[in-house]
Amino acid sequence: MKTRRARQRGMHSVASRGMQAGARPDAQPGTRPAKRSGTPPVSTHALRSRGAALPIVLMISSMMLITSAAWFETSLAAARASTNLRDALQAFHAADSALTLCARAVAAGTAPVATAVATEPTGWKLEPTFAAGAFAPVASWPGSASAPQCLAEAWRLSARPEVKAYLLTARGFGRTLESQAWVQLELVVDGDKTEWHWRRVAARPF
């Protein structure tokens, strides 16, 4: 009897130690407790951090999109400005060269000249007059939509009646007919002397 009671006491102490160690009451001695399965719970702080990062990402994406759009618009504006400047220079060079050739032709007496008037000629401001009296010093001009034109108008100077004066107006074109440049020259022929007075027409007359 004493031996059986001692064994029962020993088994009871072993079971108590197993319960205190976290073992299941029905687990057999010598076995390890089973591991828990599943994803560990996410803390509230981590969820708040993820939620705060989303607005920042959206803000950065919006800023990048706005910057890209502004850069694209700037590039388009620069391209248009470059094209307009090239057309303006093209038209100016065509008009300037035509004016020089026109002056030589007038001085040589080979260019058509409008009837002389007592005041400064204004026929170049009227489209029908310019179209009827203008001539092309050259058949074509490289890169221009049309050949440059020149109108020669005779001018009687009251202060110098002995000289021959002319107002020459030239029009040059760029890549299109809408791109135009106008230049003028006052040509005075006094015997063997020829005076050239250049001036630029700022705006198209028509």
Alpha-carbon distance values, 181 to 31, 41, 89 (Å): 102, 78, 8
pLDDT at residue number 38: 56
Q: What is the pLDDT of residue 32?
A: 53
What integer pLDDT is reported at residue 123 of this predicted model? 96
Cα–Cα dist 196/62, whole Å: 61
Confidence (pLDDT) at 18:
46
Which pTM value belongs to this model?
A: 0.65
**What is the full per-residue pLDDT of the chain (206 aa) written as tens digits?**
445 554 555 554 544 544 444 444 444 555 555 555 555 565 665 555 666 677 888 888 888 888 888 887 877 777 777 778 999 999 999 999 999 999 999 999 999 999 999 999 999 999 999 999 999 999 999 999 999 999 999 999 999 999 999 999 999 999 999 999 999 999 999 988 999 998 878 689 99
- Beta-strand runs (E) in 4-48: none
DSSP-derived letter for residue 117 is E
Sheet-wide strand order for 114-117 = 114-117, 149-155, 164-173, 180-190, 193-201
Q: What pLDDT, on the 0 to 100 scale, is given for residue 14?
A: 44
DSSP code of residue 88: H
Q: Where are the domains of the chain?
A: 73-201
DSSP assigned state of 41: P
SS3 content of the chain, % helix, strand, coil (to 5): 45, 20, 35
Residues 6+ apart with CB under 8 A from 107: 187, 189, 194
